[in-house]
Amino acid sequence: MHAGGKTCRGAAAAMCLLAAPAATAGALDDASREILGAEIAKVLTAEPEIVARALNAPPAPADIYRDAVARDLDTIAGLSARLFAPTQQGFGPAGQRATIALFTRGGCAPCKQAEAELRKLTSKTGVRVALFDMDEHAELAAKLGLDSAPSYVMRDRMLRGHMPAIVLKRYIREARAQD
């Protein structure tokens, strides 16, 4: 390809990148917008491979986490009797299957905050939370691949690290809808 084609493509790309914010922000009057549109059309007509490349873009990349998520869900399903057992130490309505398994560690300030927030949420939502100390239940935490506290396990997801109450409220609502 000759140098002129590269310059033309570069000019087209620069025009598009620079023109878009100005055109959408109302910085161009109608006459200027029309002139800009005509110039862009000229460049795209002269360099049709620009349009062809855009129309034939490669497919979106595969979900790189799909296999890991599937393994996590399989692990949760295999351990669900233990994770969500109504007899597991925790809080919320007694005798009810747990909706969330909360993994904590002693001396962990975010863990105390997570538990306090969940206690408030469970008093309003009526769900049960199973409590697991990660040191006492190290084998279970390892099987789940949990390495940070607090961690939350639900039937359809695992969350590592402290989650704000508003996020947990949404997940609890989704979990209750599945039950």
Q: Which whole number is the average pLDDT over 98-119?
A: 95
Query: What are the start-end ranges of the H helices in 25-108?
Result: 30-46, 48-55, 66-83
Closest listed residue to residue 99, CA positions, set 172, 6, 24, 25:
172
Question: pLDDT band at residue 54, thresholds of 50, 70 and 90?
Answer: confident
Please tell me the distance from the alpha carbon of residue 171 to that of residue 118, in angstroms, as a whole number.
12
Q: Give me the pLDDT at residue 123, please.
A: 87
How sure is the predictor about 179, in pLDDT bands with cuts at 50, 70 and 90? low
Task: Say what the pLDDT of residue 7 is.
Answer: 46
- Asked whether the predicted pLDDT for residue 1 surpasses 70, the reply is no
When pLDDT is cut at 50, 70 and 90, the band that residue 85 belongs to is very high
- For residue 139, pLDDT over 50 is answered with yes
Task: Identify the helix (H) or strand (E) that includes residue 7.
Answer: helix 3-24
**Average pLDDT, stretch 41-54?**
81
More reliable by pLDDT, 83 or 9: 83
CB of 94 closer than 8 Å to CB of 106: no
Q: How many CA atoms lie within 13 A of 169 on its CB side?
A: 8
pLDDT of the residue at 102: 97
| Averaged pLDDT of the chain | 84
The Cα 33–Cα 105 span in angstroms is 61
Q: Span 168-176, mean pLDDT?
A: 87
In the predicted structure, residue 22 carries a pLDDT above the cut 80: no
Across the range 141-168, mean pLDDT stands at 94
Superfamily classification of domain 66-178: Glutaredoxin (3.40.30.10)
Closest listed residue to residue 100, CA positions, set 117, 118, 113: 118
Lowest-confidence region among 8-12, 136-140, 175-179: 8-12
3-class secondary structure, 41: helix
